[in-house]
Structure 1
Amino acid sequence: MEGQKTSCRLPDTVVPVKYTLRYHDLDLDRCTFAGSVAIDCEVKSEVKTVELHALELWVTSAEAVMDDGGGGGKAGGGQKKLSTVRTEYDSKAQTVTLCFVEALPVGGVKLELSFEGSINDKLAGLYRSKYTGPDGETKTMAVTQFEATDARRAFPCWDEPAIKARFELEVLAPLDRRVVSNTPVMMSNEETAELPSGRKERRRRWRFAETPVMSTYLLALVIGEFDFVSAYNASGVLTTVYTPVGKAEQGRFALHVASKALEYYAETVFKVPYPLQKSDLLAIPDFAAGAMENWGCVTYREARLLVHEATSSTATKKAIARTVCHELAHQWFGNLVTMEWWDALWLNEGFARYMEFVAVDHIFPEWDIWSALRRAELGRLASTFPSTSHARAAMALDSLVASHPIEVKSAVMIEEQVDNPDQINEIFDAISYAKGASVIRMLAGHLGVAEFMRGIHDYLVKHSYGNARSDDLWAALGNVTGKDVGALMDTWTRKVGYPVLTLAEDGSTSQARFLAMAEDPATATAASAKGDDGGQGTVWRIPARVVWEGAGEGEELVVMLEGESGAEGGRKLKEKVQELQAAGKWFKINAGQRGFFKVNYNEGGWTNLSRAMQTRAISPADRAGAVSDAFSLAAAGRASTGVALGLASKLRDDPDSLVRQTVVSSLLDLISLYSEETFFGKFQELVRSICLPMWESITWTAAEGEPQRVATLRPLLLRTLHLSGSVEVDEEALRRFDAYVNDRAGSAPPADLRYVILATAVGVRGDSAFRQVIEIYRTSDSGEEKRQCLSAIGKARDAALLSEAMGFILDSGEVRLQDAGLSLASLATSALGSKLVWTAFRERYVELHDRFSDTGFIWPMLVGSAVMGPRTPEHLTELEAFFNDAPKPVGAGERKWLQNFEKLRVQVAQLARDRNTVPQALR
């Protein structure tokens, strides 16, 4: 509507100090609620209107209460109440404005509001989740999900992270439900309640202790039926894992992880006590994200909290451990100290992603969660990620013109800053999480881990119960180290993209932004539209470490590269490279893959490095990093795909699981890309020649005491062999599938292999296996197995079956909303599947938009699934035309469609190049 605001920021004339929030009618049958909130406020300047956030709420009454005499110092002894003359709603700004007949004076004022709303089905705000109760009936649970901007769906409030307040919560709930919130229960009494409808009903009143000062998005409320397991840690904090009734034992793994992580963070890492008395973890049947770090009341998807020893895979256990440690890291970094605004989301998510690996390594050292061998003071803080997948995902996204800086305020791709709810939801992505963690790890390695953690401690202490920006973190680290951390990190956090170092024949280096499509004319056009150079003119300060042939143990060259090879760092590196090149020796820039950049060597550099990789003269992390760089450079048109494939071929006998995983993942990407090319059969032969030697040392059966990495590699290798046409793998997978179907209890496949077996059966057998997998989905009580079934049915090779799979996912009512996006993404990975998903999305766009556009993370996933193919120039034209004139605004899916559209352009360009060069490499 013309004249309405697009910003969700509120004026600072009135700010809350404390909310006393009461829900006196929560109807889980009609899915409605009614409540009241008394907000103690500070009026900073005299106003006649008060603006709060409210979305899909109806404020039924509102008045202001203040000291008689207006709080101006007169002795009145009583109270004065002001009623509103009108209430104005702005649906676009998501606000309600209370208009009073008189101005509210400066000082303390209490706003008393009554409100009504619905317990929605959007997985946002106060929403409903269905579960099967102890009596076998389908029941409704009420759950809150307030991050980022959905507290306003549950009560009128100042819904911004920097507007912190205390909260006191009271809930009148059905007798058969437990109520859990951020703080301990202070009262739980059964009573006869007279509801607003006039009927009387026995209810239980729950009152919770007052919270610390915190942001609205961290408030939590869950009403349902649970079993639980609990334990006190060494510091006396009670940790409780709430599970579905009958599944308490499945919470013990998470309980073990959470208890250990809380103690480790408080005593060893942050050296700041856990701020609350208790720590609850709750398994929620319907949940849009993986988990949410509500202070003291963390909510999770069931699949990210519950471990079933018979059906949970190694990958799932690792994911659960990481998720639990991630959310508990937030209790300090995010909850105790909160980013000032969402443009600094990375301060929360990047740091929590980094710390999850630190904690998991401490709890499960046998997992070898860090890939480098170097250990630091606190676990292995200075080493790289457990696989290249996290940094690789961030680099893949950040190589797009449609990426954004870590600190999003400087992004101008869509708007000048992150300022409305759609934009805020868009940045919960690999840039904020994985790139954020990557640059933090790079910085920790550069500063020294011990000093880095001392700076983190000082930052947390100084800003406790308050808000901070990136500059506050850099200042704390600079005070400890004496270094200008802000100057070092400026381009890494405030500029889009990351650099590629290119090594010239004379040993000099140059840097430029690495783009997924090098020399792309559209890049300049897109950058011009944004009003910048797309990151092309950025000069990064790159802390680079170099190892080389003949170096002593632990010997490295450490240089700071600042663009000009004539600068001190560039000069030192050039001299060292010239010396090594003259001697025909190998060298590796970015030793240990600690830096967030790529390296493109000259011809001699690649040749010598290839030799070192084949003889395993360099570390597994360096071998994996060089392979990843080679394939990325080839995909961008900066190098030959044939050269990358030759490098992969030389590593077929490499014993390290990290190296194998990187090689196999790179080949798997190309299998998808080349699946409809005339040379695909020859390419499959090459893939089998690389992967079969690896498989011979792994086999179907896990060896006693084998490293955890092998358990993760095994299904990836099997999937790749199936797609490369391995008849032997298919035959054994089908034999195991038949055994499982005939004897679900006695012949269940190992959990790590279950998905590969299901997907292979559907791909090879078609209709019969498809229906058997659907039946497994319907009868399984394992969330992990259900999701694997949904992904497996998308691997059918028949158009009719794929259409049926899509209908089952979207329309059957048997698939939870939380699983729809990922299931469609799995279906869209094949050429045929991508065509069907796109066609359905285009034809049903308005319907799907109306169903899903308000569901936070779900809608962007659906949009992304629709923009995965086909990989043809004609389809690119069709996509662009559709989204430029879509029947309804794509909203929170805009960034995802732009990013996936650009990925398609990159793939179309790579296919055009590789059609000429790859067949020659396959001869």
Structure 2
Amino acid sequence: MAAGFYISRLLAITGALVSTGALVTIIALSALYAQEKNKNQAPPLPTTETSTTTPGPPEPWQRYRLPDTLSPVSYNVTLWPRLQPDPRGLFVFTGNSTVLFNCVKDTDLVLIHASQLNFTLFGRHKARLLAPTGELAAVPAVRKTWVEVETQYLVVQLERSLEAGRSYLLYTEFVGELADDLGGFYRSTYKENGQEKILATTQMQPTDARKAFPCFDEPAMKAVFHLTLVHPADTVALSNAMNYGPFSKRLHLLIYTQTKLDSAPGGYLLAETLTRMPKITKLNPVNVTVNGETLTETRFWPTELMSTYLLAFVVCEFDYISSPPDAPILIRIWARKQAIEEGQGVYALEKTGPILNYFQNYYSSPYPLQKSDQIALPDFSAGAMENWGLITYRESALLYDPAFSSNGDKEWVVTVIAHELAHMWFGNLVTMRWWNDLWLNEGFATYRDLLVVDEIHGVMDVDALATSHPLSIPEAAIMHPSQIKQLFDSITYSKGAAVLRMLSDFITEKVFTEGLSTYLDTFKYNNTVYTDLWKHLQVAVNKVSPDLGLPATVEDIMNRWVLQMGFPVVTVDTATGRISQKHFLLDPEAEVDWPSPFKYEWIVPMSWMKSGITQKPLWLTSKEATKASMVVGGTDWLLVNLETSGFYRVNYDQGNWERLLAQLDHNHQDIPEVNRAQLISDAFNLARARLVNTTLALRTTRFLARERAYTPWLTASRNLGYYFLMFDRGPVYGPMQAYMVKQVTPLFNHFKDLTLNWTEIPDNHTDQYNQVMTIQLACRNGLKACQVLTSNWFKAWMNSPANNPISPNLRLVVYCNGMAAGGPAEWDFAWRMYRNTSSASEAEKLLSAMACSREPWILTRYLEYCLDPERIRKQDATTVLIDIAANPLGQPLVWDFVRANWNYLFNDYGKGAISFDFVLQRVSARFSTEFEYKELLRFQKEVGANPLAPNLQQILERTRANIKWVSGHKDQILSWFTEEASRPSAG
């Protein structure tokens, strides 16, 4: 639903919801306002108005950041989601909230975030200002209230000022839509035993808590949350804290009661009582009956002090498995009943406890909650969300079924769980003050599951663009919610993790963990900025290892990596020992968007080796320096950045490049595996930046005919993938395929022998990945033996659908080749299997594979399915679009589809459902002509000013770089592949 007419639509249904509001008043408010049952006697307040910002000096409500006048203490929120549509076909929720806040500075204005909520019930505004017990002065009368749509505020304007140092309460009643937009408080739908089931769930990060109830929706505005959920009697309610029941161990609860304050017209008094509850014997949840309908009311213990974006609640018919009753932390895995019955939650349960214990030991900080609920949702926009005590996941990120899930699926589950549990400390216990330091949260959460090829090499491609951005951005540059959402990118996650990995490497892991421990202890339940971390790590250096020999303080070193976008290329001349650095850009002529406070100069840690022998680390602290120890002659070779521990690329003089290439040809295993991958990645990217010859980069792939390790092959595949994107529509494609077949055939035969003619699964973890990639490369490039193998497997499955003979590890690549080699019969079969599977990982494989069809009409039909949530879930629309765009036949179809349906996709389909960033990046990946560049410019003009503008500028920059590169290298590349494909194989 379009945000623009959301409120007006809710206003139109207010009359139909009057009885609903009354029901909430009777049930949900009774515990909070026991002394005042009749709300019709409350003094009337002005009717809600709506407003949008106007030109001129901004009023406080026209600014996107909250003023520093109020500070929340606690919320008491009651919500009732309707899991059945009303007569108009709308799903809604009703609720009320009382927020206790302190007045920090005198102000006659209460600004609190509220988005897409209707506050006008019974013909008047349901918002009141109240005073806690002990306040002698009456609260100010309300002069005017309205909703400021653009900045997403409920504005309460007072007749006189609130007084600094005093506490107040704001009470509101409201109605919202329980939409299927995957943001805020939303609904998810699934089928079980042929019946449609509906659940209500949340995704608050980064700025959608305001869609569920009025709140001070900024990360520094931490508070305690008291939550009550009213829900159908056949459902269960979950939230961050335990409900009042047998698992409860907390001994106190704040209860508010309301009385009329006669001396203050329009004023109310809330009495706060502390009730000691040594042991709860009254059953909770409790059933209540209203107007003949049986409902359940579930109350939850107060949360820890936390940010609004971490709040979560779910109403569902799920089942769970749990840790033993005597476990120190209650761990529960929730999912659809069928998934639980099939044991799909067992693996997650087995891994959660050990991972929690690991982090408690690693950070020397106990997990502060009594429980860790983890729930797999049928519809979820992100991979997972670190809500404190109730982590929400996509099903494929939490559920594991050995019958369907691959080795990669299994690793994904444990990786995501580890990422989210790391957030329990970095993000939840200690939170960044504002979103401009989001990398503090995500970098640490990604740090433990960092892979060089998956994370570092990938994000370097993005950070080498002139339109990249620093890790930490000035607060003033991040205001609008759309700007906040743009920060959830690979720079924040992967680069954040990479620079932390580099930091840990040069100060040592022992010092690193010591600093983290004191940092967490000092700032627990509070907010920080990145410099707080540097100070604690410096204290740890001074305490544990004062003789490290750092060339500067931790803060001086790391600020250069955090406050500057991009990274350096370090050039080593082994003939003279001269080393230098400069900002690395894929297009050296591009204009950089961000000015640098350090003039794009870094303090670079340099680990290195000579001819396989590790040397003492060096530091490059200026633009250039000379180190006599780096002079190399004869057959000796020099390699910098061991294990790719530093976030930079390395270039060498031609002599050293030749010695490294000779070593790869002679005995490649003398160079560490990760560095073999690094040499490939560096060479290809240096060639794209015109710093080395393109043929030098291509020569780094010659040794692959003898390579059996996964990392170098994966790196080569990804870098050559760029060549395929640029040339798969022209004459270079044939010779390039022939070269790839020559190189991959020895590896294909190796795995054929290793697996006893494809009947066994390799024992080694990375060998399993390498086997999949080998089949993918071999089949894609036309190796006949591979195509016959996969076609036979797929046909065998079609002949016996109940007995899939394909190993779960190989299913995605086999399914894809089955689609590419087949026609409508194969595609329709895959579609039926997708509709019938109960395994989320199997469904994802089939969704991706169906994009491999080579029939344009089938791909067009598949694109149309993306607009029908009954066929393709909204959460999966992005995956389907980018997978079809990866297909050379599908890319122009997706480009036309996105442009033709832009307004609907962007405004109506659900902003939380499709990642336009990913879609536009993938659909434009092949763009390398002036015509395509002009098409992008026209599209940019058509969409106008919108949150994707920076992303489009990045795509334009990349396309311009592609045009230059292709025009300057096409003939040379064609000649090289043609010659190499005809050479005898070196394998």
Could you state the TM-score of these two structures normalised by the residue count of structure 1? 0.89
Deviates more, 1:145-154 or 1:478-487: 478-487
* Partner Cα separation in structure 2 for residue 480 and residue 682 of structure 1: 56
The one of 400, 403, 411 equivalent to 1:310 is 403
Query: What is the aligned partner in structure 1 of residue 111 from structure 2?
Result: 51
Q: For 1:2, which of 39, 50, 54 is the aligned residue?
A: 54
Give 1:627 shift.
Answer: 1.1
How big is the shift at 1:461? 0.2
How does 1:342-361 map onto structure 2 within 5 Å? 342-355=435-448, 357=449
Q: Does 1:512 align with 2:582?
A: yes
Confirm or deny that 1:609 pairs with 2:665. Answer: no
Amino acid at match of 1:486: E
Asked whether the 8 Å contact 1:160–1:216 carries over to 2, the reply is yes
Which position in structure 2 is the counterpart of 1:365? Answer: none
Query: What's the counterpart of residue 341 of structure 1?
Result: 434
Aligned twin of 2:924: 867
How far residue 737 of structure 1 moved from its aligned partner, in angstroms, is 0.5
1:679 to partner: Cα distance: 2.4
Q: Residue 232 of structure 1 contacts residue 259 of structure 1 at CA under 8 Å; is this kept in 2? A: no
Q: Specify the alignment match of 1:190 in structure 2.
A: 286
Contact 2:566 2:584 in 1 (8 A): yes
The CA distance in 1 between the partners of 2:297 and 2:917, in whole Å, is 39
Q: Are 2:305 and 1:210 aligned?
A: no
Measured in 2, the distance between the counterparts of 1:68 and 1:670 equals 71
2:175 to 101, 116, 127: 116
CA RMSD of aligned residues (A): 2.1
Question: Which letter maps to 1:781?
Answer: S
> Structure 1 residues 151 and 271, CA, compared in 2 at 3 Å: closer, same or farther?
same
How is 1:70-89 mapped onto 2 (pairs within 5 angstroms)? 71=136, 80=138, 84-89=142-147
TM-superposed deviation, 1:669: 3.5
Between stretches 841-850 and 485-494, larger displacement belongs to 841-850
Equivalent of residue 176 in structure 1, options 231, 234, 245? 234
Which runs of structure 2 are paired with 1:256-275 in the superposition (5 Å)? 256-266=350-360, 268-275=361-368
Secondary structure in 1 aligned to 2:969? helix
Matched letter for residue 104 of structure 1: L
Q: How does 1:311-326 map to 2 (within 5 A)?
A: 311-326=404-419
Q: Letter of the 2:394 partner, please give it.
A: R
| Aligned residue number for residue 68 of structure 2 | 12
Post-superposition offset of 1:731: 1.1
Q: TM-score, normalised by structure 2?
A: 0.84
Residue 844 of structure 1, CA deviation: 2.0
Any unmatched runs of 5+ in structure 2? 1-52, 121-125, 246-283, 543-549, 980-987
CA distance in 1, matches of 2:297, 2:685: 59
Q: Which stretch of structure 1 is more off in the superposition, 712-721 or 313-322?
A: 712-721
2:589 is the alignment partner of 1:532: no
Confirm or deny: 8 A CA contact 1:233 1:263 kept in the other structure.
no
Distance in 1 of aligned mates of 2:499 and 2:370: 33
Quote the residue 1:563 is aligned against.
Answer: 622
Equivalent residues of 2:701, 2:716 under 8 A apart: yes
Paired position in structure 2 for 1:488 = 557
Structure 2 residue identity aligned to 1:513: H
Q: Give the 3-state SS of the residue equivalent to 1:832 in structure 2.
A: coil
Give the 5 Å matches for 1:742-891: 742-811=799-868, 813-852=870-909, 854-855=911-912, 858-886=915-943, 889-891=945-947
Deviation digits for residues 467-496 of structure 1 (CA, Å, limit 9, x no counterpart): 011000000000110361110001111111
Partner of residue 93, structure 1: 151
- The alignment partner of 2:421 has SS state of helix
The code of the aligned residue for 1:340 comes to R
Aligned-residue offset at 1:866: 4.2
Matched-pair contact (CA < 8 Å) for 2:285–2:299: no
| Unmatched runs of 5 consecutive residues or more in structure 1 | 73-79, 358-384, 411-415
For residue 856 of structure 1, report the CA deviation from its aligned partner.
6.6
Amino acid at match of 2:708: P
Task: Tell me how far apart the structure 1 counterparts of residues 822 and 940 of structure 2 sit (CA, whole Å).
Answer: 37
Local SS of the residue matching 1:785: helix
**Separation (CA, whole Å) in 2 of partners of 1:915 and 1:884:** 31
Match of 1:382 in 2: none
User: What is the number of residues matched between the two proteins?
Assistant: 856
Which position in structure 1 is the counterpart of 2:328?
236
Aligned residue for 1:363?
none
For 1:564-643, what aligned pairs fall within 5 Å after superposition? 564-566=623-625, 571-572=626-627, 575-578=628-631, 580=632, 582-614=633-665, 615=667, 616-643=669-696
Give yes or no for contact 2:83–2:200 (8 Å, CA) kept in 1. Answer: no
Does structure 2 retain, via aligned residues, the 8 Å contact 1:219–1:294? yes
Q: Please state if 1:297 is matched with 2:362.
A: no
Aligned counterpart in structure 2 of residue 329 of structure 1, from 408, 418, 422: 422
Contact 2:612 2:671 in 1 (8 A): no
The Cα shift of 1:703 comes to 4.7
Checking the alignment, whether the CA contact within 8 Å between 1:425 and 1:856 is kept in structure 2 is no
Q: Secondary structure at the match of 1:753?
A: helix
> Would the alpha carbon gap of residues 617 and 842 (structure 1) be closer, same or farther in structure 2, given more than 3 Å must change?
same
Tell me what 2:547 maps to.
none
CA contact (8 A) 1:404 1:496 kept: yes
AA at the equivalent of 1:14? L
Q: Counterpart of 1:906?
A: 961
Task: Give the structure 1 partner of residue 706 of structure 2.
Answer: 653
User: Residues 879-905 of structure 1: CA distance to partner in whole angstroms, max 9, x if unpaired?
Assistant: 11221342x6432x3333333333333
Q: Deviations over 1:115-146 (max 9, x none)?
A: 1111122111001100224x531121101100
In structure 1, what residue type is equivalent to 2:660? L
Counterpart for residue 26 of structure 2: none
- Confirm or deny: 8 A CA contact 1:613 1:651 kept in the other structure: no
Q: Return the match for 1:152 from 210, 221, 229.
A: 210
Give how far 1:82 is off: 5.3
What is aligned with 1:126? 185
Residue 67 of structure 1, CA deviation? 5.4
Aligned with 1:596: secondary structure? Answer: coil
- Matched residue, 1:708: 765
Whole-Å separation in 2 of the counterparts to 1:702 and 1:558: 47
Q: Residue 407 and residue 857 in structure 1: after superposition, are their counterparts in 2 closer, same or farther (change >3 A)? A: farther
1:424–1:784 CA distance, 2 compared to 1 (3 A)? same
Instruction: Give 1:22's match in structure 2, choosing from 78, 85, 90.
Output: 78
- Offset, 1:870: 3.9
Q: Sequence identity, in percent?
A: 29
| 1:470 equivalenced with 2:530 (yes/no) | yes
The answer on whether the counterparts of 1:547 and 1:556 sit within 8 Å (CA) in structure 2 is yes
Cα pair distance change 1:221/1:67, threshold 3 Å: closer
Distance 2:499 2:326 in 1: 33
SS of equivalent to 1:141? strand
Contact 1:70 1:105 in 2 (8 A): no
Q: Secondary structure at the match of 2:287?
A: strand
Q: Does structure 2 retain, via aligned residues, the 8 Å contact 1:543–1:559?
A: yes
Q: How does 1:129-144 map to 2 (within 5 A)?
A: 129-133=188-192, 135-144=193-202
Checking the alignment, whether the CA contact within 8 Å between 2:81 and 2:200 is kept in structure 1 is no
- State the distance in 2 between where 1:620 and 1:603 align: 22
Which amino acid is the alignment partner of residue 523 of structure 2?
Answer: H
Q: 1:601 to 1:68 in 2, by over 3 A?
A: closer
CA contact (8 A) 2:661 2:699 kept: no
Deviation at 1:852, TM superposition (A): 4.0
Pair 1:889–1:862, CA change in 2 (3 A): farther
**Alpha carbons of structure 1 residues 430 and 465: separation in structure 2 relative to 1, 3 Å:** same
Question: Per-residue deviation at 1:81?
Answer: 5.7
Report which stretch shifted further, 503-512 or 585-594.
Answer: 503-512
Please give the alpha-carbon distance, in whole angstroms, between the structure 2 residues aligned to 1:737 and 1:747. 9
Q: How far off its partner does 1:804 sit?
A: 1.5
Please tell me whether the aligned partners of residues 81 and 178 of structure 2 are also in contact (alpha carbons under 8 angstroms): no
Residue 794 of structure 1: SS of its match in structure 2? helix
The one-letter code of the counterpart of 1:331 is: M
Choose 1 or 2 for highest CA Rg. Answer: 2
2:570 alignment partner in structure 1 = 501
